[in-house]
């Protein structure tokens, strides 16, 4: 019994130690996300946006920010105030800041960092996003990602963190792609997507969230932006409603 009690105390101490270390590590990650500036010492600022990097930024950075139009491409809110974009394209920075979504080209953590975003890399001379040393072809160019991520921040600013995070994912991402690319040609996009799943080819041709952009554009047109933001449909329910309305509108009439 004595040996068992000793073993139990050892296990308890180890469990507490692991729990403490885990909590400490999580706190450190959250602190880094909330204040990543020390890890990105090089900066270029133009009007309402600052770009920061772990390595010196090329001269093309300033020219790009001064000449590119980053305003939303749709009637979605624009971000007010200053925001910062961190180019997390080196080693542990990539692993840390993209841990929640390693395949993404851009991420935001609006619940803890409502004024900044992270990009996986940027070629300012070409105006393209880079991911794992690869250039991402348009329409998902650098301006697309800057508008998309800025919209997440703008929506958080308008709705509040909780209401923004409570939106269905297809609304959050569809609205951001509407801001990034503008309304789609509905017939073309609906025909291209068909009834199957979204493929990489669809994303290359129409943006990262083509079906979500199609659905949010349609709901905003038929129910208004307020109706879109109050929508509680799942994506499947939204797809079914869109198909019923779309097929009815396009059915030949006698």
What single string gives the DSSP state of each residue in 218-251? HHHHHHHHHHHHT----HHHHHHHHHHHHHHHHS
The residue assigned the tokens 């469990």 is: 15
Read off the pLDDT band of 19 (50, 70, 90): very low
Q: What are the CB-based long-range contacts (under 8 Å, 24+) for 129-138? A: 129/105, 130/89, 131/105, 136/105, 137/204
The count of other CB atoms within 10 Å of the CB of residue 13 is 10
Residues 105 and 42 grouped into a single domain: yes
pLDDT digits (tens, 9 = 90+) for 27-76: 788 999 999 999 999 999 998 999 999 999 999 999 999 999 999 999 88
pLDDT digits (tens, 9 = 90+) for 150-204: 999 999 999 999 999 999 999 999 999 999 999 999 999 999 999 899 999 999 9
Confirm if 213 and 170 have CB atoms less than 8 A apart. Answer: no
Residues 64 and 125 grouped into a single domain: yes
Per-residue pLDDT at 223? 94
Among 143, 161, 179, identify where a domain stops. 161
| pTM for this model (two decimals) | 0.87
Read off the pLDDT band of 21 (50, 70, 90): very low
The count of other CB atoms within 10 Å of the CB of residue 199 is 12
Tell me, yes or no, whether 5 lies in a domain.
Answer: no
Among 161, 184, 208, identify where a domain stops. 161
Torsion of CA 97, 27, 157, 148, to 10 degrees: 10
Instruction: Please count the structural domains in the chain.
Output: 2
Among 132, 161, 190, identify where a domain stops. 161
Residues 233 and 127 grouped into a single domain: no
pLDDT digits (tens, 9 = 90+) for 208-249: 999 999 999 999 999 999 999 999 999 999 999 999 998 765
Confirm if 148 and 177 have CB atoms less than 8 A apart. Answer: yes
Residues 136 and 79 grouped into a single domain: yes
Read off the pLDDT band of 24 (50, 70, 90): very low
| Domain extent at residue 254 | 167-254
Tell me, yes or no, whether 122 lies in a domain.
Answer: yes
Angle 106-85-101 from CA coordinates, rounded to 5°: 25
Residues 41 and 135 grouped into a single domain: yes
Per-residue pLDDT at 1? 54
Tell me, yes or no, whether 10 lies in a domain.
Answer: no
Angle 68-77-85 from CA coordinates, rounded to 5°: 50
* Helix (H) or strand (E) segment spanning residue 189: helix 186-193
Q: What distances in angstroms separate CA 140 from CA 165, 180, 249, one per listed residue?
A: 24, 9, 31
Residues 192 and 239 grouped into a single domain: yes
- Mean pLDDT of the 91-102 span: 93
Q: What is the mean pLDDT of the chain?
A: 89
Confirm if 112 and 34 have CB atoms less than 8 A apart. Answer: yes
Per-residue pLDDT at 17? 47
């Amino acid at each position: 019994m004595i040996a068992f009690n000793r073993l139990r105390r050892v296990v308890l101490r180890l469990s507490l130690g692991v729990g403490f270390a885990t909590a400490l590590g999580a706190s450190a990650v959250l602190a880094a996300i909330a204040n990543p500036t020390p890890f990105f010492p090089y900066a270029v600022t133009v009007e309402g946006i600052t770009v920061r990097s772990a390595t010196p930024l090329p001269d093309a950075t300033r020219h790009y920010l001064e000449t590119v139009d980053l305003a939303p491409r749709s009637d979605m809110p624009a971000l007010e105030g200053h925001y910062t974009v961190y180019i997390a394209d080196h080693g542990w920075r990539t692993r840390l800041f993209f841990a929640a979504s390693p395949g993404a080209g851009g991420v935001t953590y609006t619940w803890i960092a409502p004024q900044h975003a992270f990009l996986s890399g940027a070629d300012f001379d070409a105006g393209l996003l880079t991911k794992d040393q690869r250039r991402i072809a348009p329409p998902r160019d650098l301006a697309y990602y800057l508008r998309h991520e800025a919209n997440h921040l703008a929506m958080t600013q308008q709705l509040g963190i909780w209401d923004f995070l409570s939106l269905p994912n297809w609304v959050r991402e569809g609205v951001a792609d509407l801001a990034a690319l503008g309304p789609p040609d509905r017939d073309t996009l609906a025909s291209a997507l068909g009834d199957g799943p979204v493929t990489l080819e669809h994303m290359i041709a129409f943006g990262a969230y083509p079906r979500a952009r199609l659905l949010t554009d349609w709901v905003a047109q038929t129910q208004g932006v307020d109706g879109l933001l109050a929508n509680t449909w799942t994506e499947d329910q939204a797809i079914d409603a869109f198909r019923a309305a779309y097929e009815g509108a396009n059915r030949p009439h006698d």
